[in-house]
Amino acid sequence: MERREFCKKSLLSGAALMAAPLISKANLLDPFAVKDSIPLMGNRFVTLCIMIRTTPWEVSRDVKLLNRDESFAHTLKVVRDLRETFSKNNPEGRLTWGFTLNALEDKRPNYGDIRKYAAECQRSFGDEVSYFPGYFPAMYLPRERINREMSEAIQIISDIVGGGYRPKAIMGGFLSANNLAYLAEKENIHVAHGVIWSQHEIDGGGADGSPSYPYYPSKEHFCKPAQGKNDFIDCVNLDGWSVDFLNARVSGGVRGTTPFNGAASRRGVGPIETYGDWGLEIGHEAVMHTQSIHFDRGFELNGFGWIPNIWEAALVKIPERNNWDETFALRALEKWVGATVKRWPEVKFVTFGEYGEIWRKHYRDNNQWNYRFEEKGLGIGNSWGNEEIRWFMNKNFRLATVRDWHKNTPEKIIDFTRYDLPAREPSDPSPERPIKDWSLMNRINQKELRLQDKPILLNELRSEEKELIAKYYPELFS
């Protein structure tokens, strides 16, 4: 029996997988492991990362925002169960393993076992093994230190996996323009999860203002698409979680005490805010609703669809809500993956790096992509059932409108972020003096935190603003 079939049939059984011989270097070129011929257009993609850490929110070896030892939650059984659950209804799927620097270097046997397992998954299934410096490195560490530690982590990963392996993407959470340029120019890595779309005042920080789908960032600001060759960073910037666009209007993460109230700006496909808050049934409705925005109407508008998601391995052992037990996360993962494959049978579960490279082959710069999304609210939380939101995103700006479709009210602009204006990132932070807000806000922002963010009608825009928007969407003024 070929090793590939052996691993499929064993569903990554720990004993069987660890006992099997390693795949030869030649077999790493097998199309089963690297499917780089998938076209962007006409396909639906899901990118899932499983994050491995030693403490919550660790940004570096010695910078830990919550010093709680999670070694008990990170075992070979936990990660094996996650991978087997992922594979159960999705045997050809590939995922990304994101290790913090501490998780890459921890000498305890459980972390050694997990690293070996991830390396074997890479060789057997084409999974990606990548570096994940927490979620917030840009808020706490100087740019040079982030760059240096990315290089250190990449080398450690290469040594762990062997065979000349290097990740195609870095899972950075928030990465500055300088960090993204360093990856492209010094490490020859051209994909990064370097932005968390719409996040603001969550876990003490955020950076709202970017497009929600991939783009080449500007040297001025990582949330801004490059405007030309002199401004261009050849590192595709990816989001980490798809969120419900109506939920995303909220700043912060206020939650209610019942399933039908309370606002959480991160609600979408993430397990904590959906399955964790609302349980397997209602939470699943939120997940599938968010995916349908991209895989149904979004697919029609854009020609492809994409859902990014990140699960922390610790969720198996550390319940985020009172109704979680040690099987809850696995049941939620099985429910999500199985339902996604059933509803959209041709969906492709690929790694973050693979997806970024697929996008990069189709779009060589920012001149051609023009994203559009339409959503009618789910009817729970702050995804109000009477509201319809439309997003328009291109190289020069992003624009969002909302209307009450029950009453057929006129659309009002809730966000108009211009990318043709100068932008500037904050200066270097430090662990002692973090800089937690890296948002790109100018004309109107969806969070409505400033007086100028009050929603306005389209005809209340200035003449030059109408002209800029009409170049892309003349139908808005017809």
Task: Give the separation between CA 21 and CA 42, rounded to whole angstroms.
Answer: 38
What is the pLDDT averaged over residues 373-377? Answer: 98
* Alpha-carbon distances, residue 183 vs 166, 186, 252, 295, 371 (angstroms): 12, 6, 30, 31, 26
What is the pLDDT averaged over residues 110-120? Answer: 98
Cβ within 8 Å of residue 155, ≥6 positions away: none
Counting Cα atoms < 13 Å in the Cβ hemisphere of 423 gives 30
Q: Which residue has the higher pLDDT, 67 or 361?
A: 361
Task: Annotate 272-300 with b (16+ C-beta within 10 A) or e (fewer).
Answer: bbbbbbbbeebbbebbbbbbbbbbebbbe
Run of H or E residues at 51? strand 44-52
pLDDT > 70: percent of the chain? 89
pLDDT band with cut points at 50, 70 and 90 for residue 17: very low
pLDDT band with cut points at 50, 70 and 90 for residue 260: very low
Run of H or E residues at 327? none
- Write down the CATH number for the domain with range 44-362: 3.20.20.510
Q: Is the model's pLDDT at 9 over the cut of 60? A: no
Task: Give the separation between CA 29 and CA 10, rounded to whole angstroms.
Answer: 22
Q: In which region does residue 416 sit, left (phi positive, over 0), alpha (psi from -120 to 50) or beta (all else)?
A: beta
pLDDT at 264: 78
* Crossing angle between the packed helical segments 76-88 and 328-343, to the nearest 10 degrees: 20
pLDDT band with cut points at 50, 70 and 90 for residue 301: very high
Domains 44-362 and 371-477 share a fold: no
Concatenated DSSP letters for 380-419?
BTTB-TTEEEEEEE-SSEEEEEEEETTTTPPPEEEEEEES
**Span 191-223, pLDDT tens digits:** 999 999 999 888 778 899 999 999 999 999 999
**Span 59-101, pLDDT tens digits:** 899 998 888 899 999 999 999 999 999 999 999 999 999 999 9
Query: Which ranges in 33-135 belong to alpha helices (H)?
Result: 76-88, 101-105, 109-125
Domain ranges of the chain: 44-362, 371-477
Q: Is the model's pLDDT at 413 over the cut of 70? A: yes
Q: Is the model's pLDDT at 186 over the cut of 80? A: yes
Judge contact between 359 and 40, C-beta under 8 A.
yes
pLDDT at 347: 98
Assigned token pair, 346: 């041709």
pLDDT at 134: 83
pLDDT at 277: 86
Lowest-pLDDT range of 127-136, 290-299, 369-378: 127-136
Q: Is the model's pLDDT at 234 over the cut of 80? A: yes
Q: DSSP 3-state helix, strand, coil percentages of the chain (rounded to 5)?
A: 35, 15, 45
Q: Are strands 412-418 and 170-171 parallel, antiparallel or unpaired?
A: unpaired
Task: Give the separation between CA 247 and CA 389, rounded to whole angstroms.
Answer: 11
Class of domain 371-477: alpha beta
Run of H or E residues at 4? helix 3-10
Judge contact between 208 and 442, C-beta under 8 A.
no
Task: Give the separation between CA 130 and CA 34, rounded to whole angstroms.
Answer: 16
pLDDT band with cut points at 50, 70 and 90 for residue 257: very low
- Count of residues making up the chain: 478
Phi, psi of 247 (to 5 degrees): -60, -35
Run of H or E residues at 222? none
Task: Give the separation between CA 333 and CA 365, rounded to whole angstroms.
Answer: 35
pLDDT at 254: 60
Task: Give the separation between CA 8 and CA 26, rounded to whole angstroms.
Answer: 20
**Span 308-328, pLDDT tens digits:** 999 999 999 987 666 688 899
- Please give the single-letter amino acid code of residue 227: Q
Run of H or E residues at 348? strand 348-350
Lowest-pLDDT range of 31-45, 160-174, 229-243, 337-351: 31-45
pLDDT band with cut points at 50, 70 and 90 for residue 36: low
pLDDT at 253: 65
Q: Which residue has the higher pLDDT, 145 or 35?
A: 145
